[in-house]
Amino acid sequence: MATNCRLLYLDNMTDLTGNAEILDLTDRETGETDLRLDRTVFYPQGGGQPSDTGTIISDTAVFQVESVRLCDGAVIHKGRHLSGRLHAGQYARLSVDREKRLRHTRLHSAGELICTAVRMLGVDWPAVSANHFPGASKVVFEGSLDPKARDPMEKEMVALLNRLVAANQNITIESTDDLDEVERLCGFRPTYLDAGSTYRVVVMPDGIGRPCMGTHVGRTGDIGEIKLRHFRAKGGRIDIGYDLADEPPVTAAPT
């Protein structure tokens, strides 16, 4: 994720407030305004994880952040002025919606734990895509499964996820510029990573890692119970949909 806006969450995922300089503003015909900052605590949508929302407050204005996007290396904070107006060159206070960030973080960690469980079960299913939006969370793997084995595999998966959550093991983040180290952490050499970059790897229980730029909880117990919404095998794909058991049902799809 190459950008000239410093992403503060990469250094501290639990810090949801901070200060930043407003670099420029662009007003849209929709009434929205796009902001660019020199640094941000807001997570820009990506890697299957929704963006943060929250507020940016200066001496002259209150701005509601409705979404954050990464566009051509720029982090764009999209939203509306609730009062007054921000100005380029001002310093402002950033504040992320805590409840929403925690939900997104838990869902992302749950998806990574499902990837871990797949590998611990000994099946050769490489993950090919993931969606961590509330109500639409799923991980899709490349692989096949005998129809007769689907129900037993789902039950085994649920039991393993429950054990991993109950064990309350550490989830850690490792950063390295060495692809050999990435391969050691992940157990495979990701071919989609750009050479010469700094790589960020989330390491789950059993020392199983995957490249990831998202936010994560510190321990598996912080995820809470994971409820599988579906477990499908079709067309060379294994589609595992999931929710957090303690969260109310959500039907909204990602935009």
Radius of gyration for the alpha carbons in the chain, expressed in angstroms and rounded: 20
pLDDT at 188: 85
CA distances from 137 to 11, 141, 216, 236 (A): 26, 14, 15, 20
User: Mean pLDDT over residues 37-63, rounded?
Assistant: 97
pLDDT, tens digit (0-9, with 9 covering 90-100), for 223-232 = 999 999 999 9
pLDDT at 255: 35
> Residue 22: which H helix or E strand, with range?
strand 17-27
Its pTM stands at 0.92
- Give the CATH number of domain 101-244; options: 3.40.50.1000, 3.30.1330.90, 3.30.43.10, 3.30.980.10: 3.30.980.10
Backbone conformation region of residue 154, classed left if phi is above 0, alpha if psi is from -120 to 50, else beta = alpha
pLDDT at 189: 82
Q: Mean pLDDT, the chain, as a whole number?
A: 93
pLDDT at 253 over 50: no
pLDDT at 250: 58
Percent of the chain's residues with pLDDT above 70:
96
Least confident of 3-17, 92-106, 228-242: 3-17
pLDDT, tens digit (0-9, with 9 covering 90-100), for 138-165 = 999 999 999 999 999 999 999 999 999 9
What contacts 59, CB < 8 A, 6 or more positions away?
A: 90
Backbone conformation region of residue 135, classed left if phi is above 0, alpha if psi is from -120 to 50, else beta = left
**End-to-end alpha carbon distance in the chain:** 20
Report whether 43 contacts 101 (CB < 8 A). yes
pLDDT at 252: 46
Q: Where in the chain is the domain with CATH 2.40.30.130?
A: 6-96
pLDDT, tens digit (0-9, with 9 covering 90-100), for 91-122 = 999 999 999 999 999 999 999 999 999 999 99
Residue 137, Cβ neighbours under 10 Å: how many? Answer: 26
The yes/no answer on whether domain 6-96 falls in CATH 2.40.30.130 is yes
Q: Where in the chain is the domain with CATH 3.30.980.10?
A: 101-244
The Cα–Cα gap between 214 and 128 comes to 16
pLDDT, tens digit (0-9, with 9 covering 90-100), for 55-96 = 999 999 999 999 999 998 899 999 999 999 999 999 999 999
Residue 13 has which token pair? 């995922």
